[in-house]
Amino acid sequence: MSVGEAGSIGFGKPLTPSNTPIPGMVVWDLPVHGDSRGWFKENWQREKMVGLGLPDFAPVQNNISFNDAVGTTRGIHAEPWDKWVSVATGRIFGAWVDLRSGPTFGAVFTAEIDPSRAIFVPRGVGNAYQTLEPDTAYTYLVNDHWSADASYTFLNLADETAAIAWPIPLSEVEISDKDRAHPRLADVTPMGPRKTLVIGAGGQLGRALRAVYGDQSDVDYATRAELDLTDPGLPTARRWRDYGLIINAAADTAVDGAETAEGRARAWSANAAGVATLARIASENAITLVHVSSDYVFDGTAERPYVETDLFSPLGVYGQTKAAGDAIVSTVARHYIVRTSWVIGDGRNFVRTMAGLAERGVDPTVVADQVGRLSFTDDIARGIRHLVDSRAPFGTYNLTCNGEPASWADLARSVYELTGHDPARVSGTTTDEYFASATGPVAPRPRNSVLDLGKILGAGFAPGDMRAKLAAYLAAEA
């Protein structure tokens, strides 16, 4: 068929996706139904297409470019959003060039698109076309609004490296001055990936996440002073569409303080209301949200390790706020809830306290009727990155050390022994006896904090053995 000759629409094709050499870019054959009156098609049908693998890209705008002449040529533009490109009437020769940083930078794909075909173009892939029939209406859905603050990337239509075989020579068509002035591939600044944001970067887990993610240019870190979940200005604090992943390592963890009037309000503000704002931001901007949970969402009465699907039954205010935060995050389409217990990292913690007491000659009395496993922050950080990088199914994952559970008193004795002190110096007691003389508010604690690790192990991540991790931690402290 020569350029300009009326083409026939491919009626009766099944809805079928076909991959291209550009990762994430997929051509779709669309069912078109026609008779003597004309034709009809479902140009975009979320349920069917998502079921066949199309990303649920949540379009917010539909644009149409009408071209009345054959040969109309529009330049190679890469925007920071995804596109669903199709033709309402007419026919185009489409050209796409991967302008994202990475091994496929510069990869080219071309195809003819008529009303019976569409193409999903991921963020950062340059898009251009040339009309092959008069009165061609080129239409595209996008999942973000144009912004002067966004980052755009362009490539010259005549770039010799891409070497696009335009059906009509570029010397014979109308091209805008802007498109003629765009750079060659060697001078293009690749579009980077959507960024990662670690919130609560000043805390124990935040510092461990810094160690895991390092100084990557696409990872931002925010301490509470820089980004507070309780700040009413949070929804506009960043250009959120630039982010693809948020790791929320921030929380109000004052377990006993949450039992006071002031502490209760503070805990609900940070652990529930602030998390709700963050969840809304993630949902509105197609961001994957990682949220860190706690064994305190359970009452500890189970006679087995807790699994991810067990119902919430928090005993105190802190646990209630964490359960509320988990419930909110679970409504985000792309989410990981990482549930931990007895967190140990770079900061004040039980292990350091016991080591200090041992060194000073103190013989402590430690609770012996609460049983669980430690969670070292380096394990939590590595586990989070594993879930994200491996694209594990979204949902909740328990993540603590592996190995035989122990009581706080058992762990204290291990600390004494590993630091060269007599473990018999540690005495055990009950929770009720331990807190009997407390002068301030005391939050109820779950007696059983053991979390089942089957799901995280099934996702390919192996947490460290608790006693081996404890020994290594103390050795590093020495």
Q: Is 140 a catalytic residue?
A: yes
Spatial distance between the Cα atoms of 412 and 309, rounded to a whole number of angstroms = 31
Strand 195-199 relative to strand 243-248: parallel, antiparallel, unpaired?
A: parallel
Q: Which fold has domain 195-477?
A: Rossmann fold (3.40.50)
Q: What is the pLDDT of residue 7?
A: 46
How high is the pLDDT of residue 4? 35
Torsion of CA 310, 313, 319, 320, to 10 degrees: 110
pLDDT score of 6 = 38
* Cα–Cα nearest to 466, from 416, 407, 426, 422: 407
Average per-residue pLDDT for the chain: 94
155-198 confidence digits (pLDDT tens): 999 999 999 999 999 999 989 999 999 999 999 999 999 999 99
To 5 degrees, how large is the angle CA 101–CA 104–CA 106? 85
Q: What is the pLDDT of residues 15-27, one digit of tens each?
A: 999 999 999 999 9
Does the pLDDT of residue 119 top 70, yes or no? yes
DSSP helix/strand/coil, 444: coil
| From-to residues of CATH 2.60.120.10 in the chain | 16-187
306 is catalytic: no
**Residue in the structure block whose two tokens are 């603590």:** 400
> Is residue 389 pLDDT above 50, yes or no?
yes
Catalytic residue among 129, 140, 296, 473: 140
Q: Where are the alpha helices (DSSP H) in 190-307?
A: 204-213, 261-268, 274-284
Both structure tokens of 28: 């779709």
Strand order in the sheet with 288-294: 219-222, 195-199, 243-248, 288-294, 335-340, 395-398
Q: How many other CB atoms are there within 10 angstroms of residue 253's CB atom?
A: 17
CATH of domain 16-187: 2.60.120.10
The torsion of the CA quartet 440, 446, 452, 453, rounded to 10 degrees, works out to: 10
CA distances, 135 to each of 68, 69, 130, 194 (Å): 4, 6, 12, 37
pLDDT digit string (tens) for 281-295?
999 999 999 999 999
What percent of the chain clears pLDDT 90, i.e. is strictly above it? Answer: 91
pLDDT at residue 461 greater than cutoff 90: yes
In angstroms, rounded to a whole number, what is the distance separating the alpha carbons of residues 405 and 403? 6
Query: Two tokens at 447?
Result: 């007696």
Of the candidates 73, 110, 108, the one whose C-alpha atom is nearest the C-alpha of residue 94 is 110
Sheet containing 92-98, strands listed edge to edge, beginning at the edge strand earlier in sequence: 108-113, 92-98, 125-131, 73-78, 153-155
Is residue 9 within 8 A of residue 39, CB to CB? The reply is yes
- Whether the pLDDT of residue 5 is over 80: the answer is no
Enumerate residues 6+ apart whose C-beta is below 8 A from 251: 200, 270, 271, 292, 322, 325
- Please, where in the chain does CATH 3.40.50.720 lie? 195-477
The answer, yes or no, to whether residue 10 has pLDDT greater than 80, is no
Q: What is the pTM of this model?
A: 0.88
Q: What is the mean pLDDT of residues 217-237?
A: 94
Comparing 1 with 323, the larger pLDDT belongs to 323
Alpha helices in 200-316 (DSSP H): 204-213, 261-268, 274-284
The Cα–Cα gap between 78 and 10 comes to 29
* CB-CB contact of 282 with 289 (8 Å): yes
